[in-house]
Amino acid sequence: MAPSVAMPRAWASRRAIAPTAALLATALAIAYFGTRFAMRDTGELPIPAAGTATLLRTVVFVALTVHLGELVGKRLVNRGALPRSWSRAAALAGAVGAGGQIIRLAVVSDIDMTTAYGTREGQLLLIMANGFLAAAGCAALRRPALAAVPLALVIVAEAIRAHPEQYSPEFGAALTVCHLTAASLWAGGLLYVLRALRLRQPNRADAKAVLAGYARLAAWLLAALAVTGTLSTLRRLPTDVVLDTAYGRVLIVKVALVAVACALALVARHRMLRGRPDAQRPARVELIVLGVTLLISSILTVVPDPHWLSAR
């Protein structure tokens, strides 16, 4: 009986490889070519190695999402079987993503690595890389909760790096800290909860309790995202160039995706409250939509600041 049971599982695993590979290839294509596509016919100056920058920042955002989501997910799923930890691998990937951006900075600026480290952006990226390495160390030493400190440092450094403008950079950085934290916890928490529920599929009552706890947290995170996202948009995107800049175009796509994710979250919550066994299906689609939103957010950090094109 054992071989006959194992064979369907093996076939199912093999069948899952093709769609997973296709999804990954699509994600890589969006990240690499997204900036160039968004900037078409806008008159904005091209960004050197924009595709590489987007890919590396996507790695950083995914690392934050997975690691922070695991930290909060363990509190939501505080009993029963737990999925295998991905935090250490995610933190190491984040360190590679931050370090790769330093190398890109040196290449596109035609400077050596020592000079790149001395620049403002290089210093912030170095802080991010070291923060991820410290978080990986916390995971390796089985002190996962301590990783929250270096990960917070990573978020602050990324927020400062993303706001080099002369007009109220402190306010913009503070908004980004809140926005990035809420987005990482929303997507990362959902990822961990769904992974945990796969181990507890027969226990519907337990699954309902876990989803209910996540739904309460997600409601607060969504509110934080709405407030910080609106304020960031008002300060960074002039209304007269919404459709004429890459930033405006990408932002419209991001807002649409967030709206879809919110609708899916409401459907999942409605099914959960009614005790339906298929409540996790819209949550899984929601996770995919949030993943695409993360890619779009990475593009948004690479495209030019739209202020120079406003009222020209």
State residue 190's pLDDT score: 93
pLDDT surpasses 70 at 3: no
Q: How far apart are CA 274 and CA 20, in angstroms?
A: 32
Instruction: Tell me how far the alpha carbon of residue 18 is from its chain's centroid.
Output: 24
Q: What is the pLDDT of residues 152-180, one digit of tens each?
A: 999 999 999 887 666 777 888 899 999 99
Rounded to two decimals, what is the model's pTM? 0.88
Q: What confidence category does residue 15 fall into, taking pLDDT thresholds of 50, 70 and 90? A: low
- Average pLDDT for residues 56-77, to the nearest whole number? 93
- Average pLDDT for residues 15-20, to the nearest whole number? 68
| In contact, 173 and 56? CB cutoff 8 Å | no
| In contact, 94 and 157? CB cutoff 8 Å | no
The proportion of the chain whose per-residue pLDDT surpasses 70, expressed as a percent, equals: 89
Q: What is the pLDDT of residues 220-277, one digit of tens each?
A: 999 999 999 888 888 877 777 778 888 889 999 999 999 999 999 889 888 877 777 7
- Average pLDDT for residues 197-202, to the nearest whole number? 72
Q: What confidence category does residue 31 fall into, taking pLDDT thresholds of 50, 70 and 90? A: confident
Determine the number of helices (DSSP H) and then strands (DSSP E) in the chain: 10, 0
The proportion of the chain whose per-residue pLDDT surpasses 90, expressed as a percent, equals: 49
pLDDT surpasses 70 at 84: yes
81-95: b (≥16 Cβ within 10 Å) or e: ebbebbbbebbbbbb
Residues counted in the chain: 312
114: Cβ contacts below 8 Å, ≥ 6 apart: none
State residue 242's pLDDT score: 78
Q: What is the pLDDT of residues 208-231, one digit of tens each?
A: 778 888 888 998 999 999 999 888
Q: What is the pLDDT of residues 128-145, one digit of tens each?
A: 999 999 999 999 999 999
If one compares 10 and 174, the residue with the highest pLDDT of the two is 174
Mean of per-residue pLDDT scores for the chain = 85
Q: How far apart are CA 209 and CA 282, in angstroms?
A: 17
Which residue type, as a one-letter code, is found at position 16? A
Q: Which two tokens stand for residue 46?
A: 């091209």
